[in-house]
Amino acid sequence: MIVNYFSKHWQHRRQVDIEKEEEYDYDALINEYYAEAIREEMSNETYHVVKIVGCAYYSDEKKHFLNLDKKAEVFKDVFKHKKEQLKDTEHRIRQRGEELVRDIKQQRELTGQRLREKSEHLVKDILETKAKVKERIEEVVEGAKPSEYLYPPELLQRLDFSKSPATFKPKISAAQPGEDWMVVRPLQRSDYDKGFLQLLSQLTSVGNVSQKQFDERFTQMKQSGGYYVTVIEDTRIAKLIGAATLTVEQKFIHNCSLRGRLEDVVVNDTYRGKQLGKLIVVTVSLLAQEVGCYKMSLDCKDKLIKFYETLGYKLEPGNSNAMNMRFDDPS
């Protein structure tokens, strides 16, 4: 006996010979529906399909109903199992998918973090390098600047040596000392390293003056004003070879005048006899006039009177005695 049945969606009419039902290949039937079920992702309809098969048989021959209904139950279990398997697979796929998404996110975050760290590091590096370069530039610029002067060096450039009674053979002046390796200039802060104190020790006792003491005294002299320590440098060896100081006293007398005093004249012994003594004394004497002193005085040993006389200094009759009261030496 032939019965009709409809596959899913009622689209395909099929026929089954129920007499040969026992020989019917239910496995193939299951596979067919199962394949459909998979395609449809195991919707509820799958189970209806199995029911439809059961109904078709039931309408014709009852004895087959139970049999087929049982089969339907079996299908149901099989489909249920397959459905669960699919769900499980789907769940695992979803899980794996989520894991992958998490992994990608993590990777992205890590990469982002690493990139952030790297860029922060780079920015820090750039800023540090920039600061170092700036510091170095400042050092170079600072190093290229002349060391601080005790007084403006321009004052020496405008001294008129023709005003001095001193005779120079050959002619020299502060602006043109006769040798290109020689310079007449104000004392500089860096002169501690150019043998200034060693030069003074050829004149008198200097003591142990530290760089700090020298610096402090330099600052005090500069701040108080009126100290014109002037030097001659041999630039070939960066050493001072001559020095003399003009100190300016401020007075109330003579209409608040200024009086100059010549102090600490010395020329390095290996450079003596070459007009440098005359050059440095005339320089500070003209400087006294330049800054407005009404007179310039000095104390000296008798044997140097002649030397200073050639430079314009005079022993004024009745007014040329130097007297001292010493506080550092009681004898």
Q: Summarize as ranges the residues that interact with ligand COA (CB under 6 A).
A: 202-203, 265-267, 272-278, 300, 303-304, 307
Residues 218 and 151: their CA atoms lie apart, in Å, by 11
For ligand COA, the closer CB: 35 or 300? 300
Q: What distance, in Å, lies between the first and last C-alpha atoms of the chain?
A: 158
For ligand COA, the closer CB: 265 or 284? 265
CB-based contact 214:208 (threshold 8 Å)? no
For ligand COA, the closer CB: 86 or 304? 304
Taking Cα atoms as reference points, which of 24, 79, 86 lies closest to residue 57? 24
- Shortest Å distance, C-beta 307 to ligand COA: 4
- Shortest Å distance, C-beta 289 to ligand COA: 20
**Inter-helix orientation angle 45-60/62-144, to 10°:** 170
> What is the edge-to-edge ordering of all strands in the sheet holding 258-267?
182-186, 227-234, 239-250, 258-267, 293-298
For ligand COA, the closer CB: 82 or 272? 272
Whole-Å CA distances, 5 to 15, 17, 188? 6, 11, 120
Residues in the chain: 331
For ligand COA, the closer CB: 84 or 181? 181
For ligand COA, the closer CB: 142 or 302? 302
- Shortest Å distance, C-beta 272 to ligand COA: 3
- Shortest Å distance, C-beta 297 to ligand COA: 12
- Shortest Å distance, C-beta 250 to ligand COA: 24
Structure letter (DSSP) for residue 144? H
- Shortest Å distance, C-beta 261 to ligand COA: 12
Residues 21 and 19: their CA atoms lie apart, in Å, by 5
**Residue with structure tokens 């200039």?**
185
Residue of minimal Cβ distance to ligand COA: 277
CB-based contact 261:295 (threshold 8 Å)? no
